[in-house]
Amino acid sequence: MSDHKLLRRAFGTFATGITVVTVGGANPHGMTANSFASVSLDPPLVLVCVDHHATMHDRLLDEGLFGISVLGADQQHVARHFADRWRPQGLAEFDPVDWRPGEITGAPLIGGAVAQFECALWRSYDGGDHTIVLGNLLSLDRCAEQDALLFFQGRFRQLNEETR
């Protein structure tokens, strides 16, 4: 399949939630990701996919501990911030958003998110131009009784009353 635009549009027909994946440590970092899924209840596993060229790629694999915040419908600005390649790096990257360090991992968790997970790297697999990262859940918090932010056909979306 050589038509990447067509492929991206076809993949975009599957609605996803939006997350911010984070690592802590001496140089914290965050990344917007919609390639997130639950994998297993026993053991409790989730997956995220990270582009080989993303700053997050080596940071996550080296750190081994990470956070995932599932963004709420009103957090489009947070998703855009962590997708901006020109944002400040390190701790300053988190200045514009509400966050707290995870109690177990120290990874930044985004305030107002509908769910927050702390994970330890369980396995990683080659996935073409991405690495598929499986995380073993260390903690979780379902934070808000609100809808999640969605991504569909290349745009952020929200559920409306007609679709519920």
Q: What pLDDT tens digit does each residue of the chain (164 aa) get? A: 678 888 888 888 888 999 999 999 999 999 999 999 999 999 999 999 999 999 999 999 999 999 999 999 999 999 999 999 999 999 999 999 999 999 999 999 999 999 999 999 999 999 999 999 999 999 999 986 889 999 988 898 888 755 54
**pLDDT at res. 8:** 82
Enclosing domain of residue 93: 4-11+18-163
If 0-12 CB within 10 Å is exposed, 13-18 middle and 19+ buried, where does residue 11 land? exposed
Q: What's the one-letter identity of residue 146?
A: Q
> What's the CATH code of the domain at 22?
2.30.110.10
The number of C-alpha atoms within 13 Å of 145 and in the hemisphere containing its C-beta is 0
Q: What's the number of domains the chain is made of?
A: 1
CA-based R_g, the chain, Å: 15
